[in-house]
Structure 1
Amino acid sequence: MEANKERQIEEIVALTSIYEDLFELENEDNYTVRIEEGEMKASLTIALNQDYPSAAPPIYSLFAPFLSKTDRQELTRNLESVYLDNIGESVVFLWIEEIRQYLQNIDTSTGCDNNETCDTVINQQLEDLLINDKSSPLVECPEIYTTDVFEDRKSVFQGHCAVVHNTDEIKAVLNKLYENKKIAHATHNMQAYRIYLQDKNSWLQDCDDDGETAAGSRMLHLLEILEAKNVLVVVSRWYGGIQLGPDRFKHINNMTRRALEESGMLSQDKTAQHNKKKKNK
């Protein structure tokens, strides 16, 4: 642990020297580096832990609101690859340069010219990030229940759920959740919803993996098994640098069920019935 601390201090000294005014030290365990490429401005906030760099990566938060959801997922995967290629080494400088290179490509793709400034493009990208459909009437956001966090090998999971009756309410809930920067910057925000359309005697349901392949469909399958009705569940995951394998799906499903049970959105009869089926297997 002492060796890790010494290496962290050495890295901070090096980063301060390299980035100078772009480097902001909050305390001995937290700092932020601003990354500027043309009109693209981002910031990488690092939270050091006692296992970095020998056995785990630092916890990071990337603020780059102009990135699309797809771009953010791709960049996140790139940073994870950088760490996996350099396990046991100090990686913050490599992360910063990976982000810088990515922004250079994004900057080129915006196609800014004299008639359309980059600021205009960025503002449009920010609007595209909003889940609101402007053609839809404004709706009041349903009450959202959020669980406590669960941690396994540096990965953190948290569940959120709300009673919803239409897609407008779903959008309102997601927008409200993403106002929280911590949730917005999660590695994955997987979701599933199931709504009963009484007038059509049919179900409206869908899911989103958000980069965690097959996670959303598993959540939706659980909602179907539990016969959940008129609910949206979102599970946030902050990747901690250690691959969990199939355990990640167990945790995602557990947080889905936990959010429903703790919020009272799932009847006790259905919960008991589901637990009984599990025991009988």
Structure 2
Amino acid sequence: MGNQVEKLTHLSYEEVPTADPNGFDIEDDGPRIGVSYIFSSDDAELEDNGGIDKDQDQNQEEKHYDKRNELECAVFRRDECIYEKSSKTVDMGTYSPENLLNKCKPGDLVEFVATGQYPHWVVYVGDFQVVHLHRAEIKNSFLTDASRGRRGRIVSDLYKLKSLSPEVVVQNAMEQVGLKDRELSWRNSECFAAWCKFGKREFKIGGEIRIGKQPYRLKIQLSEKKAHILEFQSLEDLIMEKRRNDQTGRAVVIQELANHLNCVEEIRSENIAN
């Protein structure tokens, strides 16, 4: 029997197949089913408070962000760690846009964050300017304008991939300015910025063929000793889920997982009883 592919519209963890943290699938009696996560909306359209008027949004005070509600995680491609966000390995602190300007170098990736919003990634290209995917268009903006009141941090080292030279990163970004709508090859700002930095087709829409295998794992750190693992067919799908976690926050994600795991345990108990 060939590989089977099941497509889901992902809404919550109750609908997401998960993997045993130790790598065992105790109910695997048949062929492995690959899952392609078809998300119900593009998070690029949900950034910046879901489309608040630009002028109104920029006049707001600095947006709140509590890093204590940030979810630490790691991404694996088979056995290789290709992304890690942990307070033990990177500086998780955030800075005002004005302070960021003193830290950024051309080719750096910057992430702007605010509570309840998807992170917004940009490529710093020098002269106080960035290139970013915003509302279905690649734009060249001043860093302070792109921040839209959010605090930010340099995230060039989160992905454990070989970076292109700063000159090539800037060139990659600048050559895409003006692309919009169906001309775009990236689903969100993070995929675009990472593609500029690393040049990997996996960050592009349809950059990987989904053939049933699930080579990517998202390890969600629940506590110092506990973690939960989700499996994905493509890096693009995984990034979409990771960004949803960033938007909802640590407390909500942990509660969703607890509800899901309790439900699974109840079903198993019923099956054993029957």
TM-score, normalised relative to structure 2 = 0.25
Larger Cα Rg: Structure 1 or Structure 2?
1
Structure 1 or 2: more helix by fraction: 1
